[in-house]
Amino acid sequence: MGLTFSTLLIANRGEIACRIMRTARRMGLRTVAVYSDADAHAAHVEMADEAIHIGPATARESYLRTDAILAAAKASGAEAIHPGYGFLSENAAFAEDCAKADIVFVGPPPGAIRAMGLKDRAKALMEKAGVAVVPGYMGDDQSAERLAAEAKAIGFPVIIKAVAGGGGKGMRRVDTAKDFGSALEGAKREAKSAFGDDRVLIEKYITRPRHIEVQVFADTHGNAVYLFERDCSLQRRHQKVIEEATAPGMTDVMRKKMGEAAVKAAKAVGYTGAGTVEFIADASEGLKADRFWFMEMNTRLQVEHPVTEAITGLDLVEWQLRVASGEALPKAQKDLRPHGHAIEARLYAEDPRNGFLPSIGKLERLQFPQANDIRVDSGVREGDDVTMFYDPMIAKVIAWDETREGAASKLASALAACEIAGVRSNAGFLVRALRHADFIKGDIDTGFIERHRDALIPLASARPQILARAAQFLFEDRSKNSQTPDPWSAQDGFRLSGEAREIVEFVAEGKRVPVEILHHRGGAWNVRIGGKDVSPVHASALRLASGDIAVMEGGETWTLVLHDPFAAAEAAGIAADRIVSPMPGRVVQILVRPGETVKRGQPLAVLEAMKMEHTLSAPADALVSTVDAAAGDQVGEGAVVVRFAKEKKSAA
């Protein structure tokens, strides 16, 4: 049976749009991309057979506009729309609008989306269907008093979750009753901003939780299967970082029980297409078949679906398109077996050393490794910009091997070989996580990153060998670009007797570090730092548009700033007297007033950027001089939010 449509519009952007197009093209479909102002030259736009502009850069004015998406489908003649994940993928009203326009929505029916879209209703449905759920409160009374009372009754620690949530937004862990009020306010505010719905539920927090999800697939002929599990326990800010299939320590008995529970959940809501049923497992005594509970169901394709594809040899997007076209599932449960192990790492433009804050800028260098059993799904290329408007993912890097240890080793090596400059990335952090002894032996849970923070996020310190490589690059770059044969114009520290010397000063971790280059007769040279000879590392280096030197080694990018005495004099003392926005965003709250005395660590303002809230805190005890922003303001990176009064010197 052939597909019932020939033109597919992808109502998404970035790597998932590119990934869907690859399968669609292989199946002979014509592809249509949509794009915002910010994505006019994006990879998915260039990859599509046709691309249609749908609005300004912000998602709510473009990718979340159902009218613009449907108009694009009509203009292009698209008979089907694939929503990818995020944006409109779990919007029941959009699925209904597609049906009204006689367009195939590549996803589940609207009723299933609604049933599973609200966490409280989904849990109630699962309880009715006989699927165990985490203890908690899912009631309609959303008063702060009732929610606080329910949290106390459940017993701390608890998790506050947005009813309409996902991706860690509107979620807070609360350990004590006194912290509940402020955590609730933040969760509700973030939920309202992200989903237009500030309702929350309260759940018991499992102390050693494993986040394990099951990939399910159902068709319109009554068939449903599970494609085994994925472990997504390594998370930061409640968002997944490393995912793997299958789950470490999973027994055949527990896999079957969890898979059957997932299928039962899907059938309970009349599900069709690809979906993921998420469970939380108590790993305090290892995985046990009677210690897992339903959390939620994602009624869409997941970011981490490539690891399932790697262990099954299946193309899940192809399955989606065939099911949406009315075909039966290609395989029955008895025909499915997992093979080997796959691990995916989400490579982000973010700074692990600064609370994983997103990093915005141009990808001046972006090189991925080419290796067997390594898959890279990306929606950006070298020269593209990482903007404030969308998720800062650079790529998903996936490794497969016969064993978990082999997959982890391959993935760590692949990430260590990535070269990224112009923005900060989490590549080095991912390498350390994959090579950590506890990860290798499978001792993981959702607290893994916080528990091993010092090992995973060491203090930034450019080794002498890194500084030497930067100096070497400067010397080689200058020699390569030198156009004059005039010896009097040569900048090589020439002298009539003895070694020629020149000194380059870098600023590393706020300190000036002189690096000495010694030129010898015959063209030889060497580098000295602190009076000692230093051999440069064998690593790639380049000069950034800013003039700084980037050295890339082992997944880390060291940005070495050339010391500028004039700029240093101008900037001296500035940082201590103000709080600035670390990235472009919107001011949600101002928590202080001029004339107020604040303590170190006290929250001063709340900023919303990259779909998450970030709290700006006082670096030290201080007196607020002025507040230079107001709630609702859009601010750029480096914009002053709060200024402090300068200390008065006492009279002699």
Nearest-5° angle of CA 220, CA 225, CA 229?
A: 140
Cα torsion for 95, 98, 103, 105, to the nearest 10°?
-10
Residue 309 to residue 319: CA distance in whole angstroms:
11
469 is catalytic: no
Helical H segments across 82-156, by residue range = 92-100, 110-117, 119-129, 144-154
Angstrom distance (rounded) from CA 349 to CA 352: 10
Those residues with Cβ within 8 angstroms of residue 464's Cβ, 6 or more apart along the chain or in another chain: 529, 530, 532, 534
- The sign of the dihedral angle between the CA atoms of 41, 42, 46, 50 is negative
The DSSP output letter for 328 is: P
Name the residue with tokens 């070497």.
Answer: 472
Q: Look at residues 80, 598, 582 and name the one whose alpha carbon lies nearest to residue 325.
A: 80
Choose among 264, 296, 266: nearest CA to 280. 296
CB count within 10 Å of CB 481 equals 7
Cα(221)–Cα(322) distance, integer angstroms? 12
Classify residue 237 as left (phi > 0), alpha (psi -120 to 50) or beta. left
Collect all residues with Cβ–Cβ distance below 8 Å to 639 and sequence separation of at least 6.
580, 581, 628, 629
N-to-C CA span, the chain: 93
Helix/strand/coil for 260: helix
DSSP assignment of 472-540, as one string?
Answer: HHHHHHHHHH-----GGG--S---SSS-EEEEEEEEETTEEEEEEEEE-GGG-EEEEETTEEEPPPS-E
SS3 label, residue 193: helix
404's enclosing H/E stretch is helix 404-416
**Cα 424 to chain center, whole Å?**
13
CB 241 within 8 A of CB 444: no
For tokens 């007769």, the residue is 521
Catalytic annotation, pick one of 230, 300, 346, 528: 300
Cα(301)–Cα(324) distance, rounded to whole angstroms? Answer: 13
Q: Among all residues, which ones are annotated catalytic?
A: 300
